[in-house]
Structure 1
Amino acid sequence: MLASMDIAFYRYSLLNRGGDRMVLEYANYLAEKGHRVTLYSSVDETVFRVAPAIHCVRVPWPGRAGFLLWTGLHTLQHDITVIDIIHLAPLVRCRGRLVYFAQADDIEYYGRRWQRAMIDLLYRRFFRQNGICIAVYDHLTERFRLRYGATICHTVTNGIDLETFFFEPDPELITAKKGRRALFFMARGDRYRKGYDLALKVFDRLSETLGNDLELWVCGERLEKSYRFPVRHFGVVDDDRLRQILSSADILFYPSRHEGFGLFPLEAMACGCVVVTTDAVPYAREYNAIHTLDIGDAEGMADEIFRLVSSPEQLAAERKAGFGIARKFDLRISRRRFVEILKEISGESDANRN
């Protein structure tokens, strides 16, 4: 049996995005299983739980430039160091193995050709040196194999915590809707990538067609514009409150332009929301109960939401189907698989040192 591992997760920030959640889920699980876990970051503003057993290290040099400089000048003394953006691969120096936890194709964060070319070069360098990768879905693994000839690329499909996300509506929110349908939207960073501008176009259109039958519920950033339908702002909430809000809403609107996986639609379905999204979410087209539009098709998204609001029978049937879809993505399985792969990597590292 392998001894306990010494694992580090190294990232600039810990916020409230799906990627932050998955890093912390795996870090927490490793710590709770008796492994030594160190979490490096420069900015920590997360509402997600960090296990008490995790050793948190604040990178002391401020700003992104300070973080990168500190990274390049220090050697990390851990069996495995996990990064989740390819930008850090040439900078991080570590005694043990470096593992790239690929939660997205980082090229897709950029629109300018020279930026995309630079990220492509980082990927080519990493995989040319037989870099170790754990990807969150099969489409990423295959992309890296086909594009870069990646040879050590594992897949651990993301999962959701079904003990946190389940159907638990808030009676007060249900009553406050007064028979209207609630459309949920998460307004947060990465506005272009998450389709924020597309969402505003859709809201304008829905304001003209569903002003009396709809209300908009927003978590995260506040929308400044007003519409014919009511808008409720919840701000940044913890998981317990988010579960109640999603369970009381009817439709999740998720107009993303790019996703490595797309954790939030699954969490919403586990709470009873019917999802309207784009084919940026890699698993969306696999399920008829997920309403999937072409990326950028604001008119089509608005029309799809209009049809759902006008069809309570369809909403009820697809809510039930959504529960079944969400149960297929169980975080417990993901956690175990992630640890199994790290143990394999740690065992190979020990054998090489010996």
Structure 2
Amino acid sequence: MSPLSFRRLTINGKFLTARPTGVHRVADQLIRQIVSNRDALDGVFRSPPTILAPKSAPDGTQGVHVERCGRLSGQLWEQMDLPRAAQPDLLLNLCNLGPVALGNAITMIHDAQVFITPQSYSFAFRTWYKAVLPLIGRRHRRILTVSRFSAEQLVRAGVAAADRISVVHNGVDHVLHYPRTPEIVDRLFLERQRFVVALSSIQAHKNIKILLDAFSGPELGDIKLVLFGGHDRRDFERLSLNVPANVVFAGPVTDGELRSLLEAALCVAFPSTTEGFGLPPLEGMALGCPAIVAPCGALPEVAGRGAIYAAADSPGEWVEAIRSLAASQQFWGERSAEGVAQAANFTWRKAGTDLCDVIRLVAEGR
């Protein structure tokens, strides 16, 4: 494929019509970087980048024109309407999936979780993903993913060959621009550095049970566990999990509320048994909140020496790690500084540069 063979870079905008998720936030940040780094793609495309989206999509986003097309919605739109509209273009899919029928595409597959922990997903979801991801991996010109660990797992799952995968790490500096909403700390009756923040999720690989077990004993009786996200106490109790009295469910929080919680917390805890990247602990680290993570998946790759590690199957190690931070302000300060330094390695500017390099190479047929 010679330069200028593609009319333009087209971005799959199906995510604009869905409830925001972490994957969608990554897409939003990368689109911002494409706009900021537009000179890196000079001479490659004949027209400016465009987002193709279903009819129900909102107006323009991040300085990129949104072009609505097709009559369908959801997966049907992505597999039937989108490939017809994007035929003259190089299509960029940033949210795991893309049209199988269109080969001129670059697709970011964030992780291989449906292959590693299928029990975390519904039967329909994992069946669809297991069927379509290998087709995308074979047909699309390039596969992107967010960590070396995810790349290795995608190869192991048979999604794509190693030489067809490029790693573009996520950035984390977006969290530094969230406006603070400190009122949430008082609203939840929290005391500074006397609570631990974690994601409220019942997905098996998120492994929140280990934190519930750790907080069930007297050793952490004076510290609260604050779980943010869509699952509440009843969701955990339906799974026959014991929820201690010192667990606080914050519910879904705004970006500003999350920043304020992390800045006031003793630490952020992330006990996942596998992760394609692991953004929440890195967000905490960027804000000076020490992170305790399990040594699993991409977490060691991302957190590096900036985090404290506790085994994914040992509540006692989590108790010990949390108590070590609570017992010494000097140790807390050292871990805070280490976390800030590690998080500084992951910027959206770097991610945007890496992404534009891949787009240019694919567009020029290299």
TM-score interval (norm. to shorter): 0.7 to 0.9
Give the corresponding residue for 2:225.
216
Give the corresponding residue for 1:352.
none
* Residue 145 (structure 1) shift: 5.0
Give the structure-2-normalised TM-score: 0.74
Residues 1:153 and 2:141 aligned together: no
* Residue 87 (structure 1) shift: 5.8
Is the 8 Å Cα contact of residues 102 and 133 (structure 1) preserved in structure 2? yes
Matched to 1:81, the amino acid is: L
Unaligned runs of 5+ in 1: 350-354
Is the 8 Å Cα contact of residues 262 and 289 (structure 2) preserved in structure 1? yes
Give the corresponding residue for 2:9.
6
**Greater relative contact order: 1 or 2 (C-alpha under 8 angstroms, separation 6 or more)?**
2
Percent identical pairs in the alignment equals 16
Residues 1:292 and 2:309 aligned together: yes
Structure-1 separation of matches of 2:278 and 2:184? 29
Tell which deviates more after alignment, 78-87 or 335-344. 78-87
1:272-312 CA distance string (max 9 Å, x none): 11111222341426634412233344443234223332333
From the superposition, tell whether residues 197 and 84 of structure 1 become closer, same or farther in structure 2 (CA, over 3 Å): farther
Is the 8 Å Cα contact of residues 185 and 218 (structure 1) preserved in structure 2? yes
* Residue 249 (structure 1) shift: 1.3
Residues 1:18 and 2:16 aligned together: no
Is the 8 Å Cα contact of residues 5 and 346 (structure 1) preserved in structure 2? no
* Residue 337 (structure 1) shift: 1.6
Unaligned runs of 5+ in 2: 39-47, 235-242
Three-state SS of the structure 2 residue aligned to 1:26 is helix
Matched to 2:33, the amino acid is: Y
Three-state SS of the structure 2 residue aligned to 1:193 is helix
Matched to 1:318, the amino acid is: R
Is the 8 Å Cα contact of residues 254 and 265 (structure 1) preserved in structure 2? yes
Residues 1:279 and 2:295 aligned together: yes
Structure-1 separation of matches of 2:365 and 2:71? 33
Give the corresponding residue for 1:245.
261
1:37 maps to which of 50, 59, 67: 50
From the superposition, tell whether residues 151 and 51 of structure 1 become closer, same or farther in structure 2 (CA, over 3 Å): same
Give the structure-1-normalised TM-score: 0.76
Is the 8 Å Cα contact of residues 10 and 81 (structure 1) preserved in structure 2? no
Residues 1:263 and 2:279 aligned together: yes
2:144 maps to which of 110, 131, 134: 134
Matched to 1:223, the amino acid is: D
Structure-2 separation of matches of 1:227 and 1:9? 43
Structure-2 separation of matches of 1:203 and 1:56? 50
Give the corresponding residue for 2:327.
310
Q: What is the correspondence of 1:170-185 to structure 2 with a 5 Å cutoff?
A: 170=182, 173=185, 177-178=190-191, 181-185=194-198
From the superposition, tell whether residues 247 and 81 of structure 1 become closer, same or farther in structure 2 (CA, over 3 Å): same
Pairs aligned (count): 334
Structure 1 runs of 4+ with >6 Å offset:
1-4, 41-45, 112-118, 166-169
Give the corresponding residue for 1:100.
107
Residues 1:80 and 2:90 aligned together: yes
* Residue 89 (structure 1) shift: 5.0
